[in-house]
Amino acid sequence: MGAMAARVAAVVPCKDEAERIADTVAAVLALPQVGRVVVVDDGSTDDTAEVARAAGADVVVHPRNRGKAAALSTGVAHVRDLERVAAAGEADDPETTAPAALLFVDGDLRDTAANLGVLTDDVLAGRAAMTIATLPAQLTSGGGRGLVVGLARRGIEALTGFRAVQPLSGMRCLSPGAYAAATPLARGWGVETALTVDVLRAGLEVLEVPCELQHRVSGTDWRGQLHRAGQYRDVWLALVRRGWRPWQRG
């Protein structure tokens, strides 16, 4: 293993992903950059936690659903707890247990998660504080009309000047400094939009990186529509709380 190997801790927030999480965890664990994978089961009604644990992940369970931002925060806190325990056993060289970066991974990527390594390169080399995956066209089309994406893109650009290709992408690699700049995380589904704004406003470099990933998309049924409504609400709140005033002109 090279000097950059096993220096990344992956955090996977998920809910009801028992059919997909084992493949996702196995693919992320196989990345040479990744030293540990923490799955946060955010109130699942299936056996997501058991499947993830059997696949080799450290697992934390929220008894009830608390939202994506809370799951990410729980995951990072658990990573740090595990680091402290490991450091106590490696007192001669505690740096060997401290990750150089955090990798945020959606739980539904299955074996395409094996392509996430490209997100770590620029962060580990110090060329960026945060990288964001841009995904190719998905094999299954979603039911949305781009309203939430458009809202996030306009707000980020208005607040920072950065025009994001895929502002809602959940697959990101962050340096410790980038994560610190974005905490406390914005609530719920506003977390990705707020991450971009907060890291850029801290004067840190953000790069979008093409990544060959496929994930489960929201459908056109009432559940999909409800999901998108929640996304729109949370993204709007994240932007307004950071000073965006789209109703003001001039």
What CATH number is attached to the domain comprising 189?
Answer: 3.90.550.10
Q: Is residue 58, in this structure, part of any structural domain at all?
A: yes
What residue ranges of the chain have pLDDT lower than 70? 1-6, 90-98, 141-145, 217-225, 249-250
Q: Is 191 exposed, middle or buried (0-12, 13-18, 19+ CB in 10 A)?
A: buried
Q: Is residue 1, in this structure, part of any structural domain at all?
A: no
Q: Is residue 248, in this structure, part of any structural domain at all?
A: no
Farthest-apart Cα atoms in the chain, separation: 59
Tokens representing residue 117 in the block: 């390594």
Q: Is residue 2, in this structure, part of any structural domain at all?
A: no
Tokens representing residue 141 in the block: 């089309």
> How far apart, in whole angstroms, are the C-alpha atoms of residue 20 and residue 10?
16
Tokens representing residue 224 in the block: 């999909």
Q: Is residue 247, in this structure, part of any structural domain at all?
A: no
Which residue bears the tokens 């806190």?
77
pLDDT given at position 95:
47
Q: Is residue 249, in this structure, part of any structural domain at all?
A: no
pLDDT given at position 87:
79
Q: Is 239 helix (H, G, I), strand (E, B) or coil?
A: helix
pLDDT given at position 38:
98
> How far apart, in whole angstroms, are the C-alpha atoms of residue 132 and residue 173?
7
pLDDT given at position 75:
97
Q: Is 99 helix (H, G, I), strand (E, B) or coil?
A: coil
How many Cβ atoms from other residues are within 10 Å of residue 116's Cβ?
28
> How far apart, in whole angstroms, are the C-alpha atoms of residue 57 and residue 113?
14
Q: Which residues pair with 54 in a beta bridge?
A: none
Strand-by-strand arrangement of the 130-134 sheet: 58-62, 34-42, 8-14, 101-104, 172-174, 130-134, 206-210
Q: Is residue 158, in this structure, part of any structural domain at all?
A: yes
Q: Is 174 exposed, middle or buried (0-12, 13-18, 19+ CB in 10 A)?
A: buried
DSSP string, 177-233: HHHHHHPSPPSGGGHHHHHHHHHHHTT--EEEEE-----PPP-SSHHHHHHHHHHHH
Are 3 and 29 contacting, i.e. CB atoms less than 8 angstroms apart? no
pLDDT given at position 36:
95
What's the predicted TM-score (pTM) here?
A: 0.90
Residue type, 60: V
pLDDT given at position 117:
96
Owning domain of residue 194: 8-240
Q: Is residue 29, in this structure, part of any structural domain at all?
A: yes
CA atoms in the 13 A half-sphere facing the CB of 108: 12
pLDDT digits (tens, 9 = 90+) for 180-231: 999 999 998 999 999 999 999 999 999 999 999 998 765 566 566 677 788 8
Structural domains in the chain (count) = 1
pLDDT given at position 91:
52
